[in-house]
Amino acid sequence: MPSHRYRDVYQRVSVPVTERHWPANRITAAPLWVPVDLRDGNQALAEPMDPERKRRFFELLVAMGYKEIEVGYPSASQTDFDFVRLIGSQRLAPADVTIVVFTPARRDLIERTVESVRGIPNDVVIHMYTATAPTWRDVVLGKSRAELAELITAGGRDVLELAGDMPNVRFQFSPEVFMLTEPDFVLDVCDRMTTLWNATPERPVTLNLPATVEVATPNVYADQIEYMHQNLARRESVILSVHPHNDRGTGIACAELAVLAGAQRVEGCVFGNGERTGNVDLATLALNLHAQGVNPMIDFSDIDEVRRTVEYCTRLPVHERHPYAGDLVYTAYSGTHQDAIKKGFAEHRERAVRLEQPEREIPWEVPYLPIDPADVGRTYDAVIRVNSQSGKGGIAYLLQSEYGLELPRRLQIDFARHVQRHTDRTGTEVSARTLWELFCEVYAAGSNLTGPEIPDDATVEEAIDALAADGFLVEVLSVTQQTVDRAGSAPSATYLEYRTGDGVAWAFGTGETASGATIAAVRAVARTRAAVLI
C-alpha cells in the first residue's frame, strides 16, 4: 500500500485550540436536526427522486417532527425549482417548519433561488456555499485567498440585495470543505458574512461548517468546531451548524463530538444517504440520544414504516445491520447472547411486578439490547432466532414466546442437542414453528403410538404400572406441570423426566387438565419400544 502518498491532516490544518472544553461536556438536549435528503441525498442517487417521491419523503420528514428541512437546489434543475414552488402553492409545510434552499455564490443562480421561495409563507433559509480549502481554491476555482473572500462577499451582497427585504427569510453560509480550510481564513470569511448580513439574535445567521470529505479522527473536527465556537464574532447571533460526511466511517462520532464542542445544529440524511459513503445518519444520532435518556425530539416510534418510505423514495435498501433500523439489529443467534436476553426479559418483568408499575415505565436494563425494541415499533418476535450458533436459552425463549411453554432447564439442555443436530444437518435458521414440530416429534406421543392402552382417567401411578405391565419399566424422576396461557392451545402441559436402562429421557404432553396432560406425557414414554428394564 503506497501510504507515503498521503499526508496526515495535522500537516495540512493546525487547529490553534489551547484549552479544550468539549471532552468534559455532555449532550443533555437534542440539537436542531436538519435533514438534507431532498437535496444532498437526492443528488447522490443514481435515479434522483421524481416529484411524487420527493413529496412523499417531505411529508414523512414533517410527520416525524423535523422543524427545518432542506428541500432542494432550485437553480440546479427545473424539478427542484418546481418542487419548492409546490411546497408554497399547496401549503405542504406546517407553519412551524422552516424551508431551506441551496445555492452557489453566483448572482444568476441566487436570483433563481430567491424566485423559487418568493411567496412561501413559512420561514425560509437561503443557504449559500463556496468551497474554501487550498486544493479547491487552487485546482477548482483558481483563486487566491483574497480573491475567494471577495467572491464570497459578492455573493453575500447579492443574497442581501435580492432577499434582504423579505421578512421571513434568513441566511446561511457554508464554507465547503471547512475541515481542510485554514482556521484563520475560514474564521475571517464567516465573520465577514455575519457582519454583511447583520446577524442579530432576532435574525440569526446559520454558519454551517461541513466535513465535506471526512479526513481526520473525530477529535480533530471537534477541535475545529470549538475553535470557531470560541472565536466567532457575533456568536450570540450565530446558529453554529455541522454537516459531517462519513468517508472514514466515523461521521456519527464527528457529529456527536461537534455538538459537545458547541454546534447547535446538525445536517444529515435520515439513514445516511449521500455522496460517496454518505452524510451523517440522523436516525442513529437521534436514537443514540434516546438510548442515553435524552429526548431526540424526532418520532422514530414506527421505524419500519420510516425505513419502508425512505427505501421507496431513494430506491436504496437499508442494511440489515444498520443501527436501530436494520432487520437483524435486535436479533440474537448466539447461544450466550440468547440466554442473557432471556434472563434479562424475565428480570425486567419481575422488576415491574415488584415495583407495581407497567413494564414500559421502568428503567431498561436487558443485556445486549441498548434500547427496548418496542420503543421503535418492533415486537419481540424476532429478538431471538435460532441457527447452528444458538443455545438452549434462545430455543427455550422461542417456545415460550410463541407457544407459551416454560421448559425446565434440564429439558432445555436435552432439546438443544436435538436442535443442534437439525441445524448442522440443514445449515438453515430454525423458525419457532419448526422448533415446535421438532419438540413434539422428540418428546410427545404421535399418531403412530405403539404400547399399552392407558385410560384417560388413570392416575400417574396407574399409567406407570400400565407401562411396566407392557415391558416399559421406567423410573419417574420429576413431573413439571404448567398452565399454558395461549389461545388455541391446550391449557395444561406436563414435562416428565424419567430414567430407563438407556439413561435419562423426557416426555411431553398437553391436555385440558393437569392430570390429562400428565397422562399424555406418560403415553409419550410408550411411543417407542426403546425403553428397557432397569
Tell me the Cα Rg of the chain: 32
CB 160 within 8 A of CB 206: no
414523512: which residue's cell? 60
Partner residues linked to 483 by β-bridges: 492
In degrees rounded to 5, what are phi and psi of residue 492?
A: -130, 145
CA distance linking residue 179 with residue 228, whole number of Å: 12
Cβ proximity of 178 and 212 under 8 Å: yes
Q: What three-state secondary structure class fits 453?
A: coil
Q: Is 40 annotated as a binding residue?
A: yes
Give the torsion through C-alpha atoms of 80, 81, 87, 93, to 10 deg.
60
- Report whether 295 belongs to an annotated binding site: no
In angstroms, the CA 331 to CA 65 distance is 28
Gap between the Cα atoms of 514 and 507, Å rounded: 15
Residue 245, marked binder: yes
Among 402, 69, 21, residue whose Cα is nearest residue 267: 69
Q: Give the H or E element holding residue 175.
A: strand 169-176
Kindly give, in sequence order, each residue whose CB lies less than 8 Å from that of residue 308, ignoring residues fewer than 6 positions away: none
Nearest Cα residue to 407 out of 490, 489, 506, 474 = 506
First to last CA, the chain: 70
- Annotated binding residue 348: no
Are the beta carbons of 302 and 322 closer than 8 angstroms? no
- DSSP per-residue string spanning 200-247: -SSSPEEEEEEESS--S-HHHHHHHHHHHHHH-TTGGGEEEEEEEB-T
Q: Helices in 235-322 by DSSP H: which ranges?
A: 251-260, 282-291, 303-314
Binding residues: 40, 243, 245, 279
Binding residues for Mg(2+): 40, 243, 245, 279
